[in-house]
Structures are given as C-alpha cells and as structure tokens.
Chains A and B, each alone.
Chain A
Amino acid sequence: MQIAEVPPPLEVDPARRIFGLETEFGLHVHAPHSRPVTPEEVAGHLFHSVVQWGRSSNVFLPNASRLYIDVGAHPEYATAECDTITDLIAMDKAGERIVHDLVADGEKRLREAGVDGTIYLYKNNTDSAGNSYGCHENYLLRRRADFAGFGRQLLPFLVTRQIVTGAGTITRTPEGAHYSFSPRADHMWEGMSSATTRSRPMINTRDEPHASAELYRRMHVIVGDSTMAEPTTLLKVGATDLVLRLLEARVLMPDLALAKEMQAIRDVAHDLTGTATVELADGRTMTAVEVQQSFLDTVVVHLDGIIERTEEVERILDLWQRGIDAVRSQDFSSVDTELDWAIKLRLIQRYQDRLGCALDDPRLARLELAFHDISPERGLANRLQSQGLIARVVTDDQIARAKTSPPATTRAALRGRFVQEALAAGRDFTVDWVHLKLTGNEHRTVLLKDPFRSVDDRVDLLLADLG
C-alpha cells in the first residue's frame, strides 16, 4: 500500500483568512385550508430528497458546504471554507438556491400527506412570535493567548456595526411600531460566552477551529443579521475582517469598551437617527456613528501598511464610509441599493405611502417576509436585484458554479472533490470538516487539519481506491 505523508502546515500570508457563514432559514408552510402541520413534519418532507442520496438529513454537499436541519426545524446551510469574500458571497447565495431547490419536492410530499400548501423559506432572523435564529460568521484567527481581550476590543465594533450592516426591521411595541436597524439586537443577552440557545452571546467562545488547534482559533460571531444584498454581506464580513487584521497585528485600537453591551445594542438598534449614545466603560458617551467612524478611521490609517489596498478593500471602505455618512446625514438614498436596512426601509415606506397605513399594518409585515423569501421568482430581494434596485458583488454565473463546485483555493476543494467522486462511484463515505473516509476503508481516514491546503497527495490516494 502506498503511504502519503501528512504535509506540514502551509506558510500562509497573514492577510489570508478562512471565512464561513452559517445561515438558519425560517421555514413556513402556508396551508390555511389543511390540517395543522408542525415545522418538524415540513422539514422532514423538505429534506426527503437529501436523505435519499445522503442517507442522512445532515450532509456535506458536492460544493463542500454542509446542509442540515438544525434545532427548531430550521434548514441550515454552512458554507464551505472560503479564503476570499467573493467566494464566500457566491457560496452563501448558492446556499439559498440549494435550499430553495428542495421546495418543489417538499410541497409534493406534503400534498401526498394531505397538506395542500406552499412552503416559504426566509433568510431572516425572527418569526412572527418573536423567536430568533441566526446567521453565524466564522473567522479563522491565528491563535493568541488573550482571546478574551481580543473579543472585548471587537465588541464595541460588533454592537454598532448594525447601523451599516443591519437587516432592518419593523419593531412592534405596545406604544406602536418603529423601524430598527437590526432584528437580532433584541435577542442578544451577553457579550461573550459559550452558550447559544440558552443565552445568546454576541461572540461565542466555543473553540472549534476545525483546524490545527496549535495554530488556529475560531472567532464565532453570532450577533449579525442574515443579509440579502450582496454588498451588505461584503461589508459585514469585510469590515469585520479588516478590524480583525488590525487586532491580529496588535495595533493599539482606541479603547471603546462599552459599559453595558446589552443596553447599548438595543439603544443603537432602535434609534434610526444614529444619535443615541452608548456609555463606555471609562465613563464617556459616544454615538454609534462615532464608534463606527473611529474603527473605520483606525483601519484607514493602516491602509497600504498592515492592510494592503485592493479593489475589494477599497469597495468595503467606501461603502462603510457612505453607510456611516447616510446615518449621520439622515439621507439614506446613497446606500438604498446596497445596505439591507436602507433597501428595506425604502421598500416599506413606498408601500406604506401607497396604502396610507400605520407602520404596524400586517400588510407591511407581509412585505417584510416577502423581502426575505429566498424564492428566485417570488422573493422581493431577488426581484429588486434583477430590476437593478439592489447592487451586485458576484455574478449569477459565479453563484451557479458555487452550487456544484467548491472554492478552489482551500481545503474545501479536497472535500468537494471527495464527495463528488464518492457519490459518482456509488460508495458510502463519512465526511466532516476535517475528516474524509470511505466506508470499508477505515484505515485510510484522511485528517485535513490545514484549511488553507487545497492539494494533498493523501486525498489523491484515497480517491484512487475508488477505482
């Protein structure tokens, strides 16, 4: 038997980072004239075709991403490891298409089970009863000792990031309705901890790098909103990456540690004027606009130094500044084709003007759901995008390719190829983020601890066994 050696970790450019996005979709069956049906039953029908080929409702796909049913019967899609934000956006959008592709068969099976209804999948963060589900961002960090200090410096950025990258939502209160920056903000209960469903922190400290633990650590951000517009995702991940690059380079950041993170994230969310102040640990007060501007200014200082000036970096910085300016000036028109909260606000206000109704009118809640509907034909974000009312970052061709092909420059390329070839050969296999194994060939389990490595002799040998 040939033996291939475990390759040493690659020397990686510090600017290169592995990104991943995990999206939980809202699952809604509308069947007003049928028997009641639970989300669990709907999810079972929706995933029937997945179980058929994958023998499980928890699978890795030929594009190396993971698809499964999560807690609460939410279909969840976790992108494969990407080392560019463009790849990440294409993979994330491909996930919407992949999950949507399950709907027709799910509806057919539901009909056979006596439920004549329509399945809607929403890329949003709350249902009508106020339950919340997430979009988790993963950033691979080089391991350093003071992760807690690192998180503390990042929290003021994450608390205020919603004024540019929030999804926007109509918030209903006993006193009436108002528009807020982030549907997620009211569901956050801690700054940092290892909990998720019990008490949601903004940064989850669970240390699962899915890579060599001596070298890497995961920054697991769970405070963000699911975002529809590609430029919003670019800014959400891009600005966070730039701040992380400075922290990793041990740049002395302005000390903006917040006195009360939970209070601050709510105060910022519910103030569209951007003038509400947050209290810092040192007793000062600042607005969210000032906090974001301070982070952006610090990043700009290190442009052409720690941060290489690329077209993508320039686009991120430009949108970041225009987003802050829009809130500061209260003129949202400069970002209302790029930032989710502004796109949605424009849509809601236009419809509200036509209807002449109050903001808590159920027709506007219905409009909000339609915006997050991932159906390419029915979903409003998709329709606005095809009308040119939402700007693009990637092309439809890139998304179509990402549905079936993994990112080429990370470990995902190995996993994707393995899944594709094992499926084509009709072989049973087991796969997770770091392992590849053919059933009946356990002695040749391949452990992939380097997420930057896209070529590995051991995988070639494993695939040669497929004959």
Chain B
Amino acid sequence: MPQVNASGQPYEDDAPEPAAAPAQQASTDALDDLLDEIDGSLQTNAEQFVRSFVQKGGE
C-alpha cells in the first residue's frame, strides 16, 4: 500500500527513527511490518475520522 500523506494533513512524522534493538524477535518484525502497511491509512485525516464516530449510548 502506498504511504498516503494527504495535503492539509497536520501530522508529520519527522521524529527520528528509533534505534534498532539488537536481536529483534520475529513477532517484533511482524508487528512493524503490519504498522508499515497500515500507517498510510491511519494517518489520513485521523482526527476527522475519529471525531466522526459518535453514537448514542446503548444497553
């Protein structure tokens, strides 16, 4: 999936890459791979997306 960085998007990831820990576990890699894959869709208008989820209470 291409990394989307929508214009007008106020969040930019300019934090430095965290230093790679030695002896990464396989599950660590899988988690990072998954985050790589979804990063673009999570960053796109995150605030607007989250704010638009409003329902009434239930039970």
Chain A residues engaging chain B, CB cutoff 8 angstroms = 24, 26-28, 30, 32, 39, 70-74, 76, 120, 122, 127-129, 131-134, 136, 196-197, 200, 222, 337, 346-347, 350-351, 353-357, 361-363, 365-367, 369-370, 380, 383-384, 387-389
Contacts and interface: CB of A to CB of B under 8 A. Distances in A.
A27 B53 CA distance: 8
A70 B49 contact: no
A72 B55 contact: yes
B49 A389 contact: no
B59 A134 contact: yes
Interface string B14-57: 11101000000001001110110011001101111111111111
B20 to A, nearest CB: 12
A131 B57 contact: yes
Contact of B56 (A71, A134, A350, A363): A71
B6 to A, nearest CB: 11
Contacts of B31: 346-347, 350, 384, 387, 389
User: A interface, by DSSP: helix, strand, loop or mixed?
Assistant: mixed
B49 A74 contact: no
A363 B55 contact: no
A222 B58 CA distance: 12
**Closest 10 pairs between A and B when the two form their complex, measured CB to CB:** A356-B15, A133-B58, A72-B56, A362-B47, A366-B46, A196-B59, A131-B57, A28-B53, A362-B46, A72-B58
B59 to A, nearest CB: 4
A365 B50 contact: yes
A237 B52 CA distance: 33
A354 B50 contact: no
B18 A39 contact: no
B11 to A, nearest CB: 6
Given A355-B13, A363-B43, A387-B30, A369 B54 contact: no
Given A24-B58, A24-B59, A128-B51, A363 B42 contact: yes
A345 to B, nearest CB: 12
B56 A366 contact: no
Given A133-B58, A389-B30, A361 B11 contact: yes
Contacts of B38: 370, 380
B58 A128 contact: no
Contact of B49 (A30, A129, A196, A387): A30
A355 B31 CA distance: 15
A294 B25 CA distance: 35
Contact of A383 (B14, B34, B53): B34
